[in-house]
Amino acid sequence: MTIGLCLVIASACKGQSDLSPSQRGERTFMRNCASCHGADGKGLPIPGYQVPPADLTTAQFQSTHDDAAIRSILMNGKGAMPPLGKLLPPSELDELIMYVRSLGR
Ligand code: HEC
């Protein structure tokens, strides 16, 4: 739908193409992850979850998960988290992993 609009009115998509990879990663995170992990990545208390959404900003999380581990969790899901990575185009998944990585800095 957005792409169709881009073809018709190129200017409608200027804002999108101006985004850097890390900004696109942040946008993907806000759209797909922030509802459980919070806009800051620290994790929100979701009632009914036995294991709460992980705090992705901690040194503990960052040091025990390399990019491949994060990718695998996104593709397979974990606990109450659905395999959301399967819904994303590969380039968006790459940018999202970069963004999750940046949450630890
Ligand atoms: C529906 C709520 C929900 C959404 C949306 C969600 N998560 Fe999660 N996430 C969880 C929960 C709950 C866990 C803890 C699962 C467990 O350990 O049992 C988790 C765990 C994780 C872990 C593993 C943490 C660890 O210590 O092993 C990563 C990485 C992660 N989420 C990243 C993401 C990213 C990136 C997105 C966006 C694509 C996302 N999550 C979207 C609920 C969610």
Contact 53, 78 (CB under 8 A): no
Distance from CA of residue 98 to its chain's centroid?
A: 9
Distance 51 CA to ligand 1 centre (A): 10
CA distance 14 to 37: 29
CATH number of the domain at 41, please: 1.10.760.10
Distance 41 CA to ligand 1 centre (A): 10
Tokens of 88: 């994303």
For a substitution probing ligand 1, which of 37, 71, 72, 74 has the most ligand atoms within 8 Å of its CB? 37
11 lies in some domain: no
pLDDT in tens, 24-77: 999 999 999 999 999 999 999 999 999 999 999 999 999 999 999 999 999 999
Strand residues in the chain grouped as ranges (E): none
8 lies in some domain: no
Q: Say if residue 4's pLDDT is above 90.
A: no
What does the pLDDT read at residue 52?
96
Q: Which domain holds residue 33?
A: 21-102
Total domains present in the chain: 1
Distance from CA of residue 93 to its chain's centroid?
A: 7
